[in-house]
Amino acid sequence: MKSKRFAFVIKDLYGGGAEKSLLYTADQLRQRGHAVIVFTLRERIEHRLPEGLEIVDLGVVTPFTQATNTVLTEKWQASRIARALERWQPDVVISCACDKITRHLRHPNLYFWVKSDVSAKFAEPRKRERAFDKVRRFYGGRQVIAVSHGVKENLEAVVGLKAECIIPIYNPYAQEPFLALAKEPAELPADDYFICVAALEPRKRHDRLLRAYAASGVTTPLVLLGKGKPEHEARIREQIRELGLEERVIMAGYHVNPYPWIAGAKAVVLTSDAEGLPRVLIEALLLHVPVISVDCPSGPREILTGELADFLVAPDDAKGLAEALERMDQTPVTVDARHYQQFLTHNVLPHFEAL
């Protein structure tokens, strides 16, 4: 395939899966012979940066622009991005997690990379409709990359988005880097444990996990790996005390490299209300660690296939989740290459190259 020029635009490189996926996708495209640049809107970096990947901070998100927060400000920020794009002349522009600003761009081959499922994020009808209206305003008539088939289907059928096109493309993964990271030293629990790797925020539903874990009767410890606002962490700690789980639940905090923890686990558990295509489930499978997940919109169903689907539980099935934990504790399933082939880099990147 003829080489292309790709420009990725993202607010910053701080935080979770969206930033990590973008860095990996951009670098893999670079390694396949394409010219790639990542534009950030502010210099805030938490992730390991791939050597050789060009990253340029445009500095358009500042305390002043955050304080003003008007459409006029957004258009000024977008004009600065447009100027950088004009200088670099990319064939493809992919916007991620900064669409409030980039929606003002008019590049002929601009795609908005949607990584979460807004259709399941809001229970209150007015908030839900406001969120849907925002999606329709931002992406109506535009080109969208959906991180999973479920996200695409919900954008069209539930949100009512009428985009120019919505193309489902999974995040790409290579197994080797995760195997290498998993071998780095870490102070892990001495014995078996389950693990939940998720931000300490309400949408991840640690409350659901803790109730099911308590009901399961499982004595294998549960590790919670992640960070969040102090009030959210305090609520989780309070629930641990209320359920009498102080001796069995380990709050291990945030780790830049969570993979030794994942690799050492008996299973990874996900209990979120909504996801797009949850990285942690795929990363666990790449490390041949089994997973238990609620069947939330919209990614887990596309990840837990074959015999793994036995550990996909309806979000409101508290008894089923407790039983899944008990079954996995007694007889863990075996993960092999069949379970993650569709997410491997060589199967995914051609879809980006075809944009």
- Per-residue pLDDT, 17: 74
Give the model confidence (pLDDT) of 153-181 as tens digits. 999 999 999 999 999 999 999 999 899 99
Range 5-172+343-353 has CATH code 2.60.120.10 = no
Q: CATH 3.40.50.2000 region(s) of the chain?
A: 5-172+343-353, 175-339
Is residue 174 exposed (0-12), middle (13-18) or buried (19+ Cβ within 10 Å)?
Answer: middle
Q: Quick one: how far is CA 322 from the chain centroid?
A: 25
The domain made up of 175-339 is a member of CATH 3.40.50.2000: yes
Q: Count the neighbouring beta carbons within 10 Å of the beta carbon of residue 285.
A: 25
ω before 216 within 30° of 0 (cis)?
A: no
> Of 140, 174, 134, whose CA–CA distance to 156 is shortest?
140
Mind listing the pLDDT tens digit for each residue in 299-321? 899 999 999 999 999 999 999 99
Output the pLDDT for position 69.
84
DSSP E strands: which ranges in the chain?
Answer: 5-10, 35-40, 54-57, 92-96, 110-114, 143-146, 165-168, 194-197, 222-225, 249-253, 267-270, 291-294, 312-313
**Which secondary-structure segment (H or E) carries 25?**
helix 17-31
pLDDT tens sequence for the chain (355 residues): 789 999 999 999 987 678 888 999 999 999 999 999 999 999 888 777 899 999 999 999 999 999 988 999 999 999 999 999 999 999 999 999 999 999 999 999 999 999 888 877 777 889 889 999 999 999 999 999 999 999 999 999 999 999 999 999 999 999 998 999 999 999 999 999 999 999 999 999 999 999 999 999 999 999 999 999 999 999 999 999 999 999 999 999 999 899 999 999 999 999 999 888 898 999 999 999 999 999 998 889 999 999 999 999 999 999 999 999 999 999 999 999 999 999 999 999 999 999 9
